[in-house]
Structure 1
Amino acid sequence: MFIIFLVIVLDLIGFGIMIPIFPYFAQNLGAGAGLATALMATYSAALFISTPLLGRLSDYYGRKPVLLLSMAGAVAAYLLLASSTTLWMIALARILGGAMAGNLAAAQAYVTDITTAENRAKGMGMVGAAFGIGFIVGPALGSALAGEDFESANFVLPALFSAVMSALAFFTILFFLPESLPLESRQALRRQARQSRLQSLRTLASKPALMAIISCALVYNIGAGLVESLFPIWTAELGVIDGPRGLMPILLASGIVLVAIQGGLIGPLTRRFGELTLLRSGACIYAGGLVFMAWAGEQGSLLLVTIAMMVQSAGAACVLTSAQSLASMAAVHTDRGMVMGIFSSAGTLGRTLGTVVTGSLFAHVYLHSSYLLGACLSLVLLYLSRSAAPIVELRAQAK
C-alpha cells in the first residue's frame, strides 16, 4: 500500500503545483476570466476521455504498464507547459496532461486489488489522503514558486518542478511497484469480447444502485468544477489576496483538513455511520461551506475564507471517499478498472462542465453565482443517494 500511496502523492504534488497559478498563467498571456477557466476545462475534458480507457487497459494488461506510460506522458506535458508562450500551447499542454491523468483510475483499481471489502473504505481513504497531501504540498509549492505578486510571477519554475515530480513517480513505479492484478485475471478478461464505452455503460445501467453513485460523482463534480477552478481569480478580484503566494495559507489549511479526514478519521467514521450516511452528511457540509464562502468573500477576510475552505474540504472528504468506496463495492474483480474508470470519468465530465462555464458566470452573471449554484447541486446528492442503498444491503448480506 505504501508504494502506490507514494506514487499517487508524487503525481498529485505535480498536479497540485499548477492548480493555484494556472489561471494567472493564462491571464498573463492575455486570457480573460472566461477563457482562463475554459482552458482549465481542456484538462478535464481530456481526462474524461482517457480515464475509462486507461482504467480498462489496466484490466487487460495490468496496472503497472498503464501507470508507467501515463507518468512518462505527464513529464512531457509539464515540459511543454513550461515552454508555452501562447494560449494554444497552454491548451495543448493541458490536453496532454489531462489525458495522462487518467492513470488515477488504474491507481484506484490497484488499491481495490490489494484491499478486501471490509477495509475498502480505509484503502480509498488512503487514496484520498494522498490527494490531500498532494493538495497541501503541491499548491503551497506552486504559490511559493510563482512569487509574491501577479505582475512578476514566475510560471516556468512551477511547471518544471511538476515535471520532476512526475519523473520521480515514474521511477518509483518502475523499480518498486509490483503488479497487483493476477495474470490469470488479465488472461481471462482478454478471452472475453471487448466492450465499447457505450456497451460498458449499458452494463452499468443494469445496476441502478451503481448508476446512482456514478450520478452522485457527476453532480458533485459539476459543483466542484464551478468553484475550484474559479477560486484563484475570485480571491484576487475580491482583494482577499495580493499575489499567488497569498493562496498558501488557505490551501494549506484546507489540505490538512482533507488529509486528517481521509487519512485518519474516515475509517472510524465509516465503521460508526456507514458510507451512505457519510455521503449524505458530506453533501450537506459541502453545501454549507459554499454558502459560507460566498459570504466570507463579501467580507474580504482571509481568515473567514480560510475557514470556509476548511468546511468545504471536510464535506468533500466525506463525499469523495464514501462514493469511491460504494462504487468499488458494486464492481466484480475483473470489472473494477472499468467501473472505477467510468466513475472517475463521470467526475471529470462534471468538472469539465463546471469549469468551462464558471468564468463566464463570474464575469457576466454574478460574482458569487458559482458558489451558490454549487451549493444547490450538492444538495441534489441527497436525492440521488436514496437509490444507492442496495449496495450497502448487499455488502451486509455478504458478511
Structure 2
Amino acid sequence: MNANTRALIAIIVINFVTIAGFGFMFPVFAIYGKAIDANATEIALSIASFSLGQLIASPLWGKISDRYGRRNVLVISLLVGAVLTALNVFAVTPWLLIFARFICGLASGSFSVAFAVAADISNAENRTRVMGMVGAGFSLGFILGPAIGGFAAGNDPGVDAFARVCIAGAAMMGFGGILTLFILPETRKRHEPSADATPVAVRSNLTLLRDPALAFPIILSLITSLALSKMESTFAIFADDVLHLPPSRIGLIFAVMGTIGAIVQFAGAGLLAKKLGERGMLMLALCFLTVGMFVVGSSTALPQAILGMCIIASGFSTVNPALSGLTSLAASADEQGSALGVMQSAASFGRVAGPALAGLIYDFAGPSAPFMLAGVVLALTLVSSFAVLRARLA
C-alpha cells in the first residue's frame, strides 16, 4: 500500500470518527436539554457553541498544519477532543453545556486539516473525486454517530444516558487519534525557499477572501452551512414535538441520511464532477437542498419527513465535495490548509448563526419555520449563484 493510499484511508477514517463522536450527541441533545431545564434556544446555542469554537480555531489549525505538517495537528486535535468530550458529562446546567461544547469546538481542528491532506495527495484532475471520498467518511459518521448515540441513550432521557453518549463519543475520537498516529504518513511537502517565490505562499487569511475565485466557494460555504444548521439543530426537537419520536428513531433517520450521503460522495462525486464539473455539481446540490427543506418543513408524518431528509442528504453529499474542490483548486499548494481552514471557518460561522437563529425562530414562529426559512435562503442562493456563474462564463 503506497503512502497516498494509506493517507486517503486514514483521513476517511479520521473524518468518520470525528463526526461520529460529535454526531453521537444529536439524538439526545433535545431530551437531555429539557432534563436540565434548557429551552429550545439554549439547546440550539449548545450546538452552535461547538461551531463557534471551530470558527475561531479552524483557520489557525489550517495555518499551523501548512507550517508544521498535517499529521501532528490531527493527532493532537483528536486526542484533546476525546478528553474534552468525556468531560461533557459534567455539563449539568444549560450554560455549562454551552461552554463545554465551545471548548470542544476549539479543539476540533481535524475537519479542515483532513481536507488539506486530501489536497496534498490529489491533483487538479482528481481533486473533487478525492474530496468526495474523504467526505464519505463524514457521511459515514452521520450513519453510525447519531444511530449509535441514539441506541446508547435508548429511551432514557436522564443524565446517565447523556453520560454514556459522551463516553462513547470520546472513545471514538480517541481511537481516531491513535489510528492517525500509527498509519497516517506526513503529506505536507516541504519546499525550499527560492528567489522567485510568489506572494501567494504568504497570503493572510483575510487576503485570501479578496481573491474572487476563493471568495465565491467560501461565501457559499457560509450560506449553505447557515441553512443546513437550521435543520440539524432543530430536527430532533421537531421530531419530538411534531412526530413524537424517541431518540433511537431520530438516530435512525440520521443514519438513513448518512447512508445516502456516503454512497453519493464515495461513488458519485467523481462521476458528477466529470460530467457536470464542480459548478454543475453545486447547482444540482442547491436544488436538492432547497426542495428537501420545504418537504421536511411541511411534514406532519414520518414518511414525508424521511423523504425530505433523504433529499437533503443527497444535496448535502454533493455540495461539500463541490465547494471543497473549488476552494482547493483556487488555492496554491502552500496555502491549502489556510484556504480550506477559512472555508471551514465560514461554514462554522453558519453553524453558529444558524442554530441560534433557528432556536429563536422555532420558539416564536413554530416548528416548521426554521426549515421553511432555510428553503427560502437556499432558493435565493441558487438563483444568485446561477447568475454569478453565468456572468463569469459570458
Q: Specify if TM > 0.5.
A: yes
* Alignment of 1:337 onto 2:337: yes
Q: Secondary structure at the match of 1:324?
A: helix
Instruction: Check whether the contact 2:84–2:103 (CA below 8 A) recurs between aligned residues.
Output: yes
Distance in 2 (alpha carbons) for counterparts of 1:192 and 1:89: 44
Q: Which amino acid in the other structure matches residue 255 of structure 1?
A: G
Distance in 1 (alpha carbons) for counterparts of 2:99 and 2:226: 23
Structure 2 counterpart of 1:204, from 199, 203, 209: 209
* Alignment of 1:215 onto 2:219: yes
Instruction: Check whether the contact 1:219–1:380 (CA below 8 A) recurs between aligned residues.
Output: no
Q: Which amino acid in the other structure matches residue 214 of structure 1?
A: I
* Alignment of 1:33 onto 2:60: no
Q: Which amino acid in the other structure matches residue 125 of structure 2?
A: E
The within-5 A match list for 1:167-246 is 167-184=174-191, 199-205=204-210, 207-241=211-245, 243-246=246-249
Distance in 1 (alpha carbons) for counterparts of 2:276 and 2:371: 28
Q: Which residue of 2 aligns with 1:278?
A: 281
Distance in 1 (alpha carbons) for counterparts of 2:192 and 2:285: 35
* Alignment of 1:369 onto 2:369: yes
CA drift at 1:63:
0.4
* Alignment of 1:350 onto 2:337: no
CA drift at 1:307:
1.3
Instruction: Check whether the contact 1:55–1:338 (CA below 8 A) recurs between aligned residues.
Output: yes
Structure 2 counterpart of 1:114, from 92, 109, 121: 121
Instruction: Check whether the contact 2:115–2:340 (CA below 8 A) recurs between aligned residues.
Output: yes
* Alignment of 1:49 onto 2:56: yes
Residue 335 to residue 152, structure 1, CA distance change in 2 (3 Å): closer
Residue 186 to residue 12, structure 1, CA distance change in 2 (3 Å): farther
Distance in 2 (alpha carbons) for counterparts of 1:179 and 1:315: 32
What stretches of structure 2 of length at least 5 have no aligned partner?
Answer: 1-7
Over the aligned positions, Cα root-mean-square deviation in angstroms equals: 2.4
Q: Which residue of 1 aligns with 2:169?
A: 162
Instruction: Check whether the contact 1:80–1:89 (CA below 8 A) recurs between aligned residues.
Output: no
CA drift at 1:19:
2.0
Calculate the TM-score normalised by the size of structure 2: 0.92
Distance in 2 (alpha carbons) for counterparts of 1:159 and 1:290: 29
Q: State which drifts further: 169-178 or 245-254.
A: 245-254
Q: Which residue of 1 aligns with 2:5?
A: none
- The runs of 4+ residues in structure 1 deviating greater than 6 Å are 185-188, 190-196, 389-393
Any idea what the Cα deviations from partners look like across 1:131-167, whole Å, max 9, x if unmatched?
Answer: 1100000000000011125468711111001111111
Q: Secondary structure at the match of 2:186?
A: coil
Calculate the TM-score normalised by the size of structure 1: 0.91
Distance in 1 (alpha carbons) for counterparts of 2:254 and 2:290: 19
- Matched-pair identity in %: 27
* Alignment of 1:384 onto 2:385: yes
Any idea what the Cα deviations from partners look like across 1:257-297, whole Å, max 9, x if unmatched?
Answer: 1011101111112111111111011101111011111122x
Q: Which residue of 1 aligns with 2:109?
A: 102
Instruction: Check whether the contact 1:209–1:391 (CA below 8 A) recurs between aligned residues.
Output: no
Distance in 1 (alpha carbons) for counterparts of 2:17 and 2:387: 36
Any idea what the Cα deviations from partners look like across 1:58-92, whole Å, max 9, x if unmatched?
Answer: 00100011111111210121111123323333223
Q: State which drifts further: 328-337 or 35-44.
A: 35-44
Distance in 2 (alpha carbons) for counterparts of 1:272 and 1:191: 34
Q: Which residue of 2 aligns with 1:254?
A: 257
Instruction: Check whether the contact 2:112–2:340 (CA below 8 A) recurs between aligned residues.
Output: yes
Structure 2 counterpart of 1:125, from 120, 123, 132: 132
Residue 63 to residue 187, structure 1, CA distance change in 2 (3 Å): farther
Q: Secondary structure at the match of 1:274?
A: helix
Residue 93 to residue 389, structure 1, CA distance change in 2 (3 Å): farther
Q: Secondary structure at the match of 1:211?
A: helix
Distance in 1 (alpha carbons) for counterparts of 2:351 and 2:9: 29
Any idea what the Cα deviations from partners look like across 1:88-130, whole Å, max 9, x if unmatched?
Answer: 3322321121112232111110110001111111111012100
* Alignment of 1:310 onto 2:310: yes
Instruction: Check whether the contact 1:204–1:210 (CA below 8 A) recurs between aligned residues.
Output: yes
Q: Which residue of 2 aligns with 1:397?
A: none
Q: Which residue of 1 aligns with 2:267?
A: 264
Q: State which drifts further: 24-33 or 41-50.
A: 24-33
Instruction: Check whether the contact 1:215–1:384 (CA below 8 A) recurs between aligned residues.
Output: no
Instruction: Check whether the contact 1:47–1:345 (CA below 8 A) recurs between aligned residues.
Output: yes
* Alignment of 1:323 onto 2:327: no
Q: Which residue of 2 aligns with 1:93?
A: 100
Structure 1 counterpart of 2:155, from 145, 148, 161: 148
Instruction: Check whether the contact 1:209–1:389 (CA below 8 A) recurs between aligned residues.
Output: no
Residue 335 to residue 386, structure 1, CA distance change in 2 (3 Å): farther
Q: Which amino acid in the other structure matches residue 276 of structure 1?
A: R
Q: Secondary structure at the match of 1:148?
A: coil
Instruction: Check whether the contact 1:208–1:387 (CA below 8 A) recurs between aligned residues.
Output: no
Distance in 2 (alpha carbons) for counterparts of 1:103 and 1:187: 30
Instruction: Check whether the contact 1:125–1:267 (CA below 8 A) recurs between aligned residues.
Output: yes
